[in-house]
Structure 1
Amino acid sequence: MSGMLKILLAEDDHDMRRFLVKALENAGYEVVAFDNGRSAYDRLREEPFELLLTDIVMPEMDGIELARRATELDPDIKVMFITGFAAVALNADNQAPKDAKVLSKPFHLRDLVNEVGKMLAA
């Protein structure tokens, strides 16, 4: 067991996904990435992750539903949404996990890595 913190990433934009994986791996995290919520959820059922980093708007299963199911599976998992639509995430009746963090696009990778670090240190 290497003690590396594991991040599950769900992001349907190929370039964005590649950038995020690279930035997070460079920061010392282990990252498993998927291009849709359903595959990410299936993986989550196989092993625990410390953090779910997910886009909100995705085909098949959106990020909110993915996050809701993830926290049902593992109440301790931390959730961060990346989105171009901050208002969507913050809508109170969509049942996003209460303490989820929202990072609005566009953002600097440095900011993302800092936020992830803060969440995982908490």
Structure 2
Amino acid sequence: MTKILLAEDEDSVRSFLTRALQRAGYDVISCPDGDTAIEALDNGPFDLLLTDIVMPGADGIEVAKIASQRQPGLKIMFITGFAAVALNAQKASPEAKVLEKPVHLREIVTEVERLIAA
């Protein structure tokens, strides 16, 4: 089963994403912030890191850097509500997918499916 590490600090968004991805057949480990996501990397390996960028503690870019060091080849998808932050994420991880909020849950699931299949 495909394993996803999800880091999202907004409780409702994290809950919706977790349920949508689980319904799509993914094993999801969800974390309320970047620091917790870094700790959760020990529960890998993961197929995908899906992370918000702006979070308390370690931000999504930092989580992605650490995750990529620990698990080279890990697929990464960022979600953010800030356009300027999206540009920074794309520069930091050019191979990552960046989605800007608001984004429909079905769109996220579709993009996750595409990224996993690539």
Identity %: 57
Distance 2:43 2:109 in 1: 25
Aligned to 2:71: 74
TM-superposed deviation, 1:64: 0.5
1:27 to 24, 31, 47: 24
Aligned to 1:113: 109
TM-superposed deviation, 1:95: 5.8
Gaps of 5+ in 2: none
TM-score, with length taken from structure 2: 0.94
Judging by fraction of residues, say which structure has more helix.
2
Residue pairs, 1:5-84, within 5 angstroms: 5-84=2-81
TM-superposed deviation, 1:108: 0.8
Partner deviation per Cα, 1:53-106 (whole Å, 9 max, x = no partner): 0000000100010001111111111100010013213227x8622211111100
Distance 1:77 1:83 in 2: 19
Which deviates more from structure 2 when the two are superposed, residues 79-88 or residues 10-19?
Answer: 79-88
2:98 to 78, 95, 102: 102
RMSD over aligned CA atoms reads: 1.4
TM-score, with length taken from structure 1: 0.91
Count of paired positions: 118
Distance 2:48 2:98 in 1: 13
Quickly say closer, same or farther: Cα 1:45–1:97, change in 2 above 3 A.
Answer: farther
Gaps of 5+ in 1: none
